[in-house]
Structure 1
């Protein structure tokens, strides 16, 4: 008898008559499909990089990784076979799919020349505090952007892809442009690696049940947040929060059964810190979008926890508590000025955690050439942005109250000052870092500040303001030109980003700012406008607006506040009372911090908190310590 055509020693397996699928599809129990009759490799094997062997021939096990992966990595041909020998696990094909997205060695050599941006520091912050991260220099790009060793879990490979994506996201445009031809493809690489990690790992319930899996989702949320995709960031944060609760990390416990893939992660992991960063990001995104926050418990706001923090970490935690109070504020709370004044005092206490010079506008001196200084300046700026935005959101409901009611004068003056503070920092930051794909949340903060500053100037031009010589708005005449200059500079920055034709955020916001400035200028020249507020439409999500009355009027939507209407040709007749803000309080926050503040404001009990260690005692203690 002659040897089979497949070679000596090969043993044929029985094949059902009429079978045409390959052995690989048979093993995977999937349908074997060929793109055309002339194709010799099925679609599944082509996609996975596996060898397609028809069942007409003997089943010879062949390495499943494609030579393309080996070529992209610049590794010897034996790499994947070695990897298979070390760890023959079920995640091998998935790991190969992730590795196939990694840039080629030639592309990496170019990427290594880019400066380390803020994202690398923020990556370290995910499982640690700001104060601890600030004392350590990040790794170099070459050290940082190395794939995990052969046999690593797919989650660790996905994490490295996300680190690469955030690294490219934070690269200054000037550095990208200096690379010549690479400047046309770096964004494609950035988007590709993040998309592959998100699709194959972050949304896979079988893979994200580890601490590193949560870290991957938080990196995804960070990436989308800085790209201005706030809705996708919000959804990612809520996915991570759900996993945190399933794993019991919100209770501050580390179970022996907790899945941690790397010893380095276990050494640095703190469940309270990761929950803190999730809550901070969630409340920021919820406030910016008008969506409900998670029910993740906030264990970080107790007086005992605050006492153990460094000043910047303590300020961040107080800001998180205040944002939670604003999110759950009801109409009754807004009409109770005592509550507003109490929260305002907490904002002042938060600001006092840092020394006066810390509150100066960062200079972003490009001659310093120090990544750590850049990180300190940027973190400082972002915390300043958030502080002044919380001040605006706290006092914004009183902006459209009648000027004859002097109870709201302090709120109006405070909002004007905070709006200027935000715009001056926005101009400084965007002048230094005009990246189209980085820190886009500050563009929305600048839009809100511009809206508020235009609103107060328009109201100051109205006829009824002239009757009140002692109105705080009367002093605006002396600062109008400088205020308009900052707003015009803000518009210039957004219009320059919109000229690319691909920047959705600046393309959406710049026409609204242009119309706001036009209305303010017309109002200064005597045109009458009414400024009123109303509840938002159901389809209003996030900061934005639309032109009305044939382009003569404007509606601006601010989440958790409502819609401000600028209408042409009518006399302003805003009633003296407060408007009904959206019922944000319907989305109750289930956290220790809310109960803590309820105890301070309403005299209720605090669960799991020593009643003697009240917030007021902590405030007094912190004041004495500073003295």
Structure 2
């Protein structure tokens, strides 16, 4: 039995219970019930103030203690969150950012992550997309830092950049599957709208990887300028994170090297300056392939610097060209001779396909750099014919390098027959263009043309590449130009003459990065006679043509050697 409660003396008209007094609320009792409404709702013992309560029941005391502890914990968590948010805002305002080792998570990003999680395809569908897209067989420009697509998605609580990166990877797979272009574009649009366009969500190594994947998608989609912008943005974020300045992990160092490589390659392709001139970087793997890539990045920067000087000053830069070529020859000699051999990718295991494709890609890039290194002198010889030994040397070198590019392109794209593949099409088109130009220029030498005996094989190689591009339905404006250039080469071989001018609007136009547009126009029969009778004194009929040639000779870009 419970003890009887002790009675106290209270003021008259005092009817509230102890609980209502403690809560400072009105105590309402409806007779004949002696328990007030508040205690009824809360299931509490209703004790009038005229009685003394010695001890609370054990259950009530424990319940009240838990409630107080929970309130204290909630207040502490809210205080911590507010303090962390203030520290994060202070870091964002500071110019000296420390490099983030993991993905920062914010409270508002949870809803974005859950939305992106809801639109991801199920694991079974993901497996089909990966299989058809052959993502695991493609040596992506992001290398080991990206890895393969996991069939299981990240948990719903993961950072939004994890879902954006997954969507972009799936988009690249769909891009390689003919007929899935619209779905790939939808994934990219969702990732860009909700994650990739938010700088506060991208300031991490995972964010940098996502940006490089997005740039890869745009390269494959034939939008090099958009890809260049993505790489530049990633490079700027990387610098804010301290990459290239502070001590880096292997993962961070690999991403930094990738961004420098991508920026220089895309700038070289578009005729733009590159962003970071410092060459004090290295690839963390240290193998022969990595050393070759390191030299390629350095060389691409030197070619860009040389092109900019030629563009501004009009100097031929022969000495610098030979020095750059010598560095490429030295790194080629450092590799075993059998490393440069290649064969078909068909019939190989998945791991072997990935390794061989990586090797072929590095070989193709090596020869492509030789092509763009000597390309300006081939065009110079067409506009201002010369027998300069440097130009003759460039012509021989560029023809050999162009053939090597096209042969490896055929091997790679005969196996990887999806959409555009990491910009290899543009490299192949550049090689075909320079090879055809070298043959066109050779015909002015008549019987002394040393390239004529290789013409049948070279034309067959060019036609095979063009046929392959048409079979894959790769949208490329340069393909149509090259088909016209093949026709021009055939006409020149049959004796036709073309005039070359440094302005657009008159005939077939070729645009070269850093060096503008060159227009080629077929001469009329009368102009061809004048061209062949160069030994005759100038007459009034030839005055216009000679004035035109004088204009070309005065061009700051194509000075006489």
Normalising by structure 2, what TM-score?
A: 0.69
The whole-number CA distance in structure 2 between the counterparts of 1:454 and 1:241 is 37
In the other structure, the counterpart of 1:23 is none
Shift of 1:109: 5.4
In the other structure, the counterpart of 1:196 is 190
> Is 1:310 paired with 2:287?
yes
Go from structure 1 to structure 2 and tell me whether the alpha carbon gap of 1:420 and 1:384 turns closer, same or farther (over 3 Å shift): same
> Is 1:99 paired with 2:117?
yes
The whole-number CA distance in structure 1 between the counterparts of 2:131 and 2:557 is 51
Shift of 1:421: 1.3
Q: Is the 8 A contact 1:120 1:163 kept in 2?
A: no
Aligned counterpart in structure 2 of residue 211 of structure 1, from 205, 214, 217? 205
In the other structure, the counterpart of 1:460 is 442
Give per-residue Cα distances to partners, 1:185-221, cap 9 Å, x unaligned: x433332222212221111012111121111111111
Go from structure 1 to structure 2 and tell me whether the alpha carbon gap of 1:124 and 1:387 turns closer, same or farther (over 3 Å shift): closer
Shift of 1:118: 5.0
SS in 2 for 1:151: coil
Shift of 1:334: 5.1
Go from structure 1 to structure 2 and tell me whether the alpha carbon gap of 1:223 and 1:458 turns closer, same or farther (over 3 Å shift): same
The whole-number CA distance in structure 2 between the counterparts of 1:578 and 1:273 is 47
SS in 2 for 1:152: coil
In the other structure, the counterpart of 1:44 is none
Give per-residue Cα distances to partners, 1:406-431, cap 9 Å, x unaligned: 33221111011111111222222222
Compute the RMSD of aligned alpha carbons. Answer: 3.0
In the other structure, the counterpart of 1:77 is none
Go from structure 1 to structure 2 and tell me whether the alpha carbon gap of 1:107 and 1:326 turns closer, same or farther (over 3 Å shift): same
> Is 1:514 paired with 2:483?
yes
Aligned counterpart in structure 1 of residue 377 of structure 2, from 398, 417, 424? 398
SS in 2 for 1:249: coil
The whole-number CA distance in structure 2 between the counterparts of 1:353 and 1:389 is 19
Alignment length (residue pairs): 425
Gapped regions of structure 2 (runs ≥ 5): 1-40, 42-104, 532-545
In the other structure, the counterpart of 2:510 is 556
SS in 2 for 1:557: strand
Give per-residue Cα distances to partners, 1:255-298, cap 9 Å, x unaligned: xxxxxxxxxxxxx7443321110010111111111123223744
Gapped regions of structure 1 (runs ≥ 5): 1-8, 10-86, 129-137, 174-183, 255-267, 538-547, 583-627
> Is 1:353 paired with 2:327?
no
Go from structure 1 to structure 2 and tell me whether the alpha carbon gap of 1:188 and 1:316 turns closer, same or farther (over 3 Å shift): same
The structure richer in helix per residue is 2
SS in 1 for 2:293: helix
The whole-number CA distance in structure 1 between the counterparts of 2:106 and 2:486 is 64
Q: Is the 8 A contact 1:276 1:298 kept in 2?
A: no
> Is 1:420 paired with 2:400?
no
The whole-number CA distance in structure 1 between the counterparts of 2:235 and 2:302 is 20
Q: Is the 8 A contact 1:202 1:217 kept in 2?
A: yes
Go from structure 1 to structure 2 and tell me whether the alpha carbon gap of 1:322 and 1:344 turns closer, same or farther (over 3 Å shift): same
Q: Is the 8 A contact 1:123 1:163 kept in 2?
A: no
> Is 1:433 paired with 2:404?
no
Q: Is the 8 A contact 2:314 2:557 kept in 1?
A: no
The whole-number CA distance in structure 2 between the counterparts of 1:379 and 1:426 is 12
SS in 2 for 1:563: strand
Shift of 1:479: 0.8
In the other structure, the counterpart of 1:220 is 214
Normalising by structure 1, what TM-score?
A: 0.62
In the other structure, the counterpart of 2:469 is 494
Q: Is the 8 A contact 1:333 1:339 kept in 2?
A: no
In the other structure, the counterpart of 1:589 is none
The whole-number CA distance in structure 2 between the counterparts of 1:283 and 1:555 is 26
Shift of 1:170: 4.5
In the other structure, the counterpart of 1:381 is 360
1:538-617 correspondence to structure 2 within 5 Å = 549=506, 553-569=507-523, 570=527, 580-581=556-557
SS in 2 for 1:567: strand
Larger mean Cα displacement after TM superposition, 451-460 or 572-581: 572-581
In the other structure, the counterpart of 1:108 is 126
Aligned counterpart in structure 1 of residue 296 of structure 2, from 279, 294, 319? 319
The whole-number CA distance in structure 2 between the counterparts of 1:518 and 1:436 is 27
